[in-house]
Amino acid sequence: MDRRELLKQIGLSAGAVALGGTSSVLHAEENVVKRKRVLRIAHITDVHIRPEENAPARFVQCLEEIKKHKVDFFLNGGDTIFAADYSDIKRERVNELWDIWMQTSQAISDFEIHSCLGNHDMWWAAPNKEDAMHGKDYVVKQLGIPGRYYSFDKKGWHFIILDSNNKNAGSLDDEQRKWLEKDLAGLSPNTPVMCMSHYPILAVCTHVVGGNHTDSPYITELFYKHLDKKICCLSGHIHLEDCAVYNNVQFYCNGSMSGFWWGEGDKESAGKGYYKQTPPGYAIIDLFDDGSVSNQYIPHRY
């Protein structure tokens, strides 16, 4: 082969590689185009609303910012109020906190808000268990949700809302386990599922004391039995941004709306209002018809 023929062959080979590359790119783009977004959700968690630190006004500013993302509805991940669970909390304080939540959440009154219970939401210091404000039933009423755990469907997606606040904090009780097993078993293959809990079911940040579900082995094994579904999970509680994947299940823990409980922070805060390395913020989550998820955590400046 003379020099001219050699150069010709090299040129043809290069062209074939270029065309092949272009074809692959076009094929990938076609796959992306075929995927259709069916829902956009705002995930807010650990709002810890309270009158101090100008938190009500700052929270409303956050909600107004979120609305600009044109979300379909809100998922509220618990710890809605600052802290009702301590033994020294009085009735007046609990009423004050829930009143502020009712007032500030009016900013998104045009949206559905699907909430779960946080460990700080329940008033256990009520005089007795018969008191109307004692425990979980009162929180369910304040949040306007069907029960302490429930599920619903939207645009082909199945949503499961769990109650993490049971024995061995960060766990499901027996009644809820049976319900969850039945709920998952009733879904058709390939159903996309989003499961929201307050405590992370599974997280990288295992060093956080009391941070994760203590019954993670049970829940992850249950999910493994349902590999024919497309499951992803949302949580809060630890105020840290965290993401894990296990057995094709995605676990997103988004940072808290309140950050360092609306305060300035401490010596471990990486910035103003941060809890450790995570700034205060919220997540915008896009859900697609093929069961895929895009979870974007967005720090807020308020």
Residues 54 and 27 in one domain: no
Residues 105 and 24 in one domain: no
Residues 152 and 167 in one domain: yes
Residues 25 and 42 in one domain: no
Query: What is the domain-level CATH number for residue 54?
Result: 3.60.21.10
Q: Are 78 and 85 in contact (CB under 8 A)?
A: no
Query: Cα(79)–Cα(254) distance, rounded to whole angstroms?
Result: 13
Residues 141 and 267 in one domain: yes
Query: Cα(65)–Cα(68) distance, rounded to whole angstroms?
Result: 6
Q: Which residue has the higher pLDDT, 3 or 151?
A: 151
Using 50, 70 and 90 to split pLDDT, how confident is the model at 15? very low
pLDDT in tens, 86-138: 999 999 999 999 999 999 999 999 999 999 999 999 999 999 999 999 999 99
Domain assignment of residue 28, given as a range:
1-34
| Contacts by 96-100, CB closer than 8 A, 24 or more apart | 96/51, 97/49, 97/50, 98/142, 100/49, 100/50, 100/51, 100/55, 100/56
Is 18 a residue whose pLDDT tops 50?
A: no
pLDDT in tens, 217-274: 999 999 999 999 999 999 999 999 999 999 999 999 999 999 999 999 999 999 999 9
Residues 42 and 134 in one domain: yes
Residues 162 and 260 in one domain: yes
